Amino acid sequence: MIYKTGKPKTKQHYREFKIMSQHVVVIGAVALGPKAACRFKRLEPDSKVTMVDQSDLISYGGCGIPYFVSGDVSDASQLQSTSFHMVRDAKFFKNVKDINVLTNTKVRSIDRNKKTVTVKNIITGQEDDLSYDQLVLATGSRPKRLPIPGVNLKGIFTVSNLNEAMAIKQGLAHGEVEKAVVIGAGAIGLEMAEAMADLWGIETTVIEVSDQILPGIISPNMARMAQCHLEENDIIVRLDEKVQQFHGTDRVKRVTTDKGIIDTDMVIMAVGVAPNGDLAKAAGLEVSQSGAIVVNDRMQTSDPYIYSGGDCVEIPNLLTGKPGYFPSGSLANRQGRVIGTNLAGGNARFEGAVGTFIIKAFEMSLASAGLSLGRAKAEGWDALSVFVSQFDRAHFYPEKGLMYMELIVDRKTEKVLGVQGLGGVTDAVFARVNAVAAILKYGATVADIGNLELLYAPPFSAAMDIVNALGNTAENVLRGKNKLIDVDQFAQWWRDREGSDAVFLDCRGWGNAKPVSEKYPDDWKSIPQDELKKRMDEVPRDKPVVLICNTGVRSYEAQLNLKQKGITNTYNLQGGMATVKKWGLDL
């Protein structure tokens, strides 16, 4: 018996609720489970908590697996340790947290009427019933496996748990692997590819079925820039390619796709994860079509005595208003705390997520928050995106790097729907995308971004930071003041220049324009922007003119200069030559 009478309804009501000692059972002991269990025990130390997990390795930082595989994290126990170097095993939970953990134990079923779970020790085979007052489902997700021939050969791994990670690392450390194939160019696939190529020197091929890396997360142009960086670091990236079969007698030796055959000694399958909702479904709890457990904003399932969170649930997407699936160790931890509070009669809320992403790959960081342009359009917005490249510090500050950012906005409401950034290995991209991510749920507009009060000092930022520049550029585009062309379209026009009218006009100083201009004397015209007013009659009035500078600032100025003289069929190359180069187009 948890509540004395009825259900608590208000915050006040919750606080005054008299909670009696109870037994909470937590199914799953990796991220959300331990967080919920510990939080609850801190609030209600006299209650009893039992945590059940099918593995003997619990409470580890799963997101650290690629860094363990690479060797950055030397020992698996580090992923399982607290920041003060205590290993979070069953003994730790007992001694430090007064929480009982049943490892190597599978939950067979839940009887909601009796309020019991039937568990089975997978080593001894013994079955038991545990009665609960409240239950937490922290069953997480499972990696998807391609349903193709040969999928059960040795040497084919998913990145699902620490046991599997140790098997992968053992293979690498024993020198068994000269070539590896990663299937899926999502975050985990790319992190694993870097781990293998960079630190073990393995010839690594990433195969992605979509036409870009990080599909659905990062815009095609950002993805292509990131792909160039991976290729510069010897990762082989194959897009638009579908894996059809694995070959080998005992171990995998070859992968065939719809485009060819690739020899390999190891395969990492990183083709996404699916929520583990089966147990919930079997118990009659509400589960979505995709198999995710349905919860309210208190992280309660359709049974008020059962909570759930983390990789096995859906939560609202705060931008679309629809249910979203956001598997993330970070969300799991925060939701775990909310559950712990509510188990103790509190009234904590988890309202949803906008969706955030960041990855480090070699000397690059790449991040996003909210919706990509494609996703925004698919959701019905009349969306556009703008792209800006700019230094990450004051341009006069000696140590600095170029950043590339994209802002996705709704034309009608001018609401910001998403943001993306690519830069070096500093926290510069992290800092900008964090700030924009934080205000997405408040319905921030283009004007809010233009005036966003970022911290300013020359060693950290520019007086008009790239984020402000993004907002201002979007405003100029929305008002019809800045007519843009993106790097992809620019590349197409450049390739097709023989059969087209387009004029390519370089607005940079002659020093920068010279090499390209001399290489393509018929195709690449140079008029520095500060000479444009005097040389206006050199600009053709009857052809589309593509305006080019280093980052897009002077070409915008040139576009306005031309407009003033009635030349309006112009296109400002957003992100400028800095972006063209990063994107991999060699002029």
Which of 193/287 has CB closer to a second copy?
Answer: 193
CA–CA distances in Å: residue 187 to residues 78, 401, 462, 494: 22, 24, 30, 32
* Residues numbered 555-574 forming contacts with a second copy, rule: CB under 8 A: 557, 560-561, 563-564
* Shortest distance (Å) from residue 570 CB to a second copy: 14
* Sole binder of a second copy in the list 266, 384, 548, 553 (CB under 8 A): 553
* Residues numbered 384-403 forming contacts with a second copy, rule: CB under 8 A: 390-391, 394-398
Q: Is 45 in the site for a second copy (CB under 8 A)?
A: yes
Q: Is 430 in the site for a second copy (CB under 8 A)?
A: yes
Amino acid, res. 246: F
Binding-residue total with a second copy (CB under 8 A)? 105
What does the buried/exposed string (b/e) look like for 370-381 if buried means 16 or more CB atoms within 10 Å of the residue's CB?
bbbbbbbbeeeb
* Sole binder of a second copy in the list 103, 212, 529, 570 (CB under 8 A): 529
* Sole binder of a second copy in the list 92, 404, 524, 583 (CB under 8 A): 92
Amino acid, res. 159: V
Q: Which range binds a second copy by CB under 8 A, 37-45, 105-113, 142-150, 219-227?
A: 37-45
* Shortest distance (Å) from residue 577 CB to a second copy: 11
Asked if 406 contacts 420 with a C-beta cutoff of 8 angstroms, the reply is: yes
CA–CA distances in Å: residue 254 to residues 245, 249, 261: 8, 10, 7
Q: Is 360 in the site for a second copy (CB under 8 A)?
A: yes
* Sole binder of a second copy in the list 69, 130, 348, 547 (CB under 8 A): 348
* Shortest distance (Å) from residue 336 CB to a second copy: 9
Phi, then psi, of 151 in degrees rounded to 5: -65, -20
* Shortest distance (Å) from residue 324 CB to a second copy: 12
* Shortest distance (Å) from residue 173 CB to a second copy: 18
d(CA 285, CA 291): 11
Q: Which range binds a second copy by CB under 8 A, 17-25, 164-172, 200-208, 364-372?
A: 364-372
* Shortest distance (Å) from residue 214 CB to a second copy: 13
Q: Which residue has the tokens 């996705």?
A: 408
Asked if 270 contacts 145 with a C-beta cutoff of 8 angstroms, the reply is: no
Q: Which range binds a second copy by CB under 8 A, 59-67, 127-135, 235-243, 302-310?
A: 59-67
d(CA 137, CA 115): 14
* Shortest distance (Å) from residue 303 CB to a second copy: 24
CA–CA distances in Å: residue 175 to residues 162, 172, 198, 264, 500: 20, 5, 15, 13, 54
Length of the chain: 587
* Sole binder of a second copy in the list 28, 33, 34, 61 (CB under 8 A): 61
d(CA 323, CA 327): 13
Distance of CA 332 to the CA centre of its chain: 15
* Residues numbered 169-198 forming contacts with a second copy, rule: CB under 8 A: 187
Q: Which range binds a second copy by CB under 8 A, 67-75, 161-169, 201-209, 288-296?
A: 67-75
Rounded CA Rg of the chain: 27
* Residues numbered 238-267 forming contacts with a second copy, rule: CB under 8 A: none
Which of 243/367 has CB closer to a second copy?
Answer: 367
Amino acid, res. 185: A
d(CA 389, CA 577): 10
d(CA 477, CA 388): 12
* Sole binder of a second copy in the list 554, 567, 570, 579 (CB under 8 A): 554
Q: Is 533 in the site for a second copy (CB under 8 A)?
A: yes
Amino acid, res. 163: N
Which of 378/425 has CB closer to a second copy?
Answer: 425
Strand partners, 254: 247, 263
* Sole binder of a second copy in the list 2, 63, 153, 166 (CB under 8 A): 63
Q: Is 17 in the site for a second copy (CB under 8 A)?
A: no
Q: Which range binds a second copy by CB under 8 A, 61-69, 220-228, 380-388, 538-546?
A: 61-69
Q: Is 514 in the site for a second copy (CB under 8 A)?
A: no
Asked if 396 contacts 458 with a C-beta cutoff of 8 angstroms, the reply is: yes
d(CA 348, CA 31): 19
Q: Is 509 in the site for a second copy (CB under 8 A)?
A: yes
* Sole binder of a second copy in the list 145, 253, 334, 411 (CB under 8 A): 334
**What's the N-to-C CA distance of the chain in angstroms?**
73
d(CA 272, CA 287): 19
* Sole binder of a second copy in the list 169, 432, 525, 582 (CB under 8 A): 432
Distance of CA 269 to the CA centre of its chain: 18
* Sole binder of a second copy in the list 158, 550, 555, 574 (CB under 8 A): 550
* Sole binder of a second copy in the list 291, 329, 540, 584 (CB under 8 A): 329
* Shortest distance (Å) from residue 406 CB to a second copy: 15
Q: Which residues are CB-neighbours of 375 under 8 A, at least 6 positions away?
A: 216, 418
Amino acid, res. 427: D
Which of 270/549 has CB closer to a second copy?
Answer: 549
Distance of CA 421 to the CA centre of its chain: 12
d(CA 169, CA 167): 5
Closest residue by Cα to residue 391 from 499, 297, 496, 467: 467
* Shortest distance (Å) from residue 498 CB to a second copy: 31
* Shortest distance (Å) from residue 430 CB to a second copy: 5
Q: Is 115 in the site for a second copy (CB under 8 A)?
A: no
Cα three-residue angle 578-579-581, rounded to 5 degrees: 70
Q: Is 359 in the site for a second copy (CB under 8 A)?
A: yes
Q: Is 315 in the site for a second copy (CB under 8 A)?
A: no
Asked if 333 contacts 392 with a C-beta cutoff of 8 angstroms, the reply is: no
* Residues numbered 453-472 forming contacts with a second copy, rule: CB under 8 A: 453-461, 463-465, 468, 472
* Residues numbered 71-90 forming contacts with a second copy, rule: CB under 8 A: 72-73, 78-79, 81-86
